Amino acid sequence: MTSPLEARSLVLVREGNTVLDGVSFTAEQGEIFALLGGNGAGKSSTLLTFLGFLDPSGGEVLVNGTSVTSDIAAARNAIAYLPEAASLYGHMTAYENLDYFLDLAGKSASKDEIDAALDRVALPQEARTRRLQSYSKGMRQKTAIALALLRETPILLLDEPTSGLDPVAIDEFHDLVKTLAEGGQTVLMVTHDVYGACQVADRVGLLRHGKLVGSFAAENGKRIDTETVHAAFAERQAV
């Protein structure tokens, strides 16, 4: 069976520096795969290659079995992407942002459908007609997640999704991601938050200087052991 996301011996060289060096992994349908690593490990670059924003120098990345370089449009149509900064327009309201980006994605949604998505991410009703420039990071993140929900793509890429969120918002976010995965969406998230990754992910890959140096999976219905991953993370960071 074809994996929704697959990196095969992925190599990425940018301005003479090797950013990714032979990274291989898959993310299966309904799975949450977290790529964990420190600053400069190559996490975000990995996401960007799946979107076709960066071209691999070697190896390849596949979305639903198709090489991204051969069909970027197909890859982008299958993926909802949530950048670290939850980048949406500050001068627009949540409704306007969602309507616009859905339009760009070739989709349309009624106000009721948009409200339903915003209800799922628990964005307060009164905030929806306010411009995003008055939002907290968490509220922007929720709006961005709502966009991902409305796009109904089989794959979700999350770049440092809980960065800057308060603990309550992080818990809410994790619950939401789990719900999406249970609904069949494949989630690839990159983070440096060991605890968060272990809380939400089915598998965690440890990325260090562009190499995948460890992999941990939840087994027997238990979450991945945070202590184990933290120890490996700290050890690798110290190398």
Partner 1 sequence: MSTITRIAREEWRLWLRSRVVVAAALIVAVLIAATSMLTAGRIADEQSQRTQQQIAAEQTFFAQPDRHPHRMVHYGHYAFRPPPPLAVFEPGVDAVTGQSIFLEGHRQNTAMFADTKAAADLGGFAALTPASLYQLLLPLLLIVLGHAMFLRERESGTLAVMLAQGQSGTKLALGKAAALLAVIAIFMVPLVFVAVYSISLGESALAAGSMVAGYFVYLCIWGAIVLAASILLKQRSVSLGALIFVWLFAALIVPRFAINASSAAIDAPGKIESDLVMLAEQRKLGDGHNAADPAFMQLQAEVLEQYEVETIEELPINWRGVVASYSEAELTDLLNSYAEERMGLEASQSRIFGLFGLASPTIAISSASRTLAGTDLATHHRFLRESEALRFGFVQALNEKHATELDYAADINRNADAEASRRARVNASAWQVLDEFRFEPDGADARLERALLSFVILLAWLTAAGGIVYGAARRVRL
Provide the binding-site residues for partner 1, judged by CB under 8 A.
Answer: 48, 51, 53, 73, 76-77, 79-81, 83-85, 87-92, 96, 100-101, 103-106, 151
Closest distance to partner 1 from the beta carbon of 190 (Å): 14
Contact between 177 and 158 under an 8 Å Cβ cutoff? The reply is: yes
Q: How far is the CB of 79 from partner 1 (least distance, A)?
A: 7
Question: Is the distance from CB of 106 to CB of 153 less than 8 angstroms?
Answer: no
Return the number of the residue (1 or 73) whose C-beta is nearest partner 1. Answer: 73
Q: Which is nearer to partner 1, 90 or 183 (CB)?
A: 90
**Is the Cβ of residue 57 or residue 226 nearer to partner 1 in the bound state?**
57
Report the nearest approach of partner 1 to the CB of residue 53 (Å): 5
Nearer to partner 1, 87 or 237 (CB): 87
Nearest distance from C-beta of residue 188 to partner 1, angstroms: 13
CB of 205 to partner 1, least distance (A): 22
Which residue spans within the chain are E strands per DSSP?
A: 5-14, 17-27, 32-37, 58-63, 66-67, 79-82, 155-159, 186-191, 203-208, 211-217
Among residues 6, 18, 115, 110, the alpha carbon closest in space to that of 66 is found at: 6
Let me know: does 33 contact 25? Beta carbons within 8 Å. yes
Q: Among residues 38 and 83, whose Cβ is nearest to partner 1?
A: 83
Burial of 17 (0-12, 13-18, 19+ CB in 10 A): exposed
What type of residue is 32?
I
* Of 92 and 116, CB closest to partner 1: 92
The 3-state DSSP class for residue 149 equals helix
To the nearest whole angstrom, how small is the minimum distance from the Cβ of residue 218 to partner 1? 29
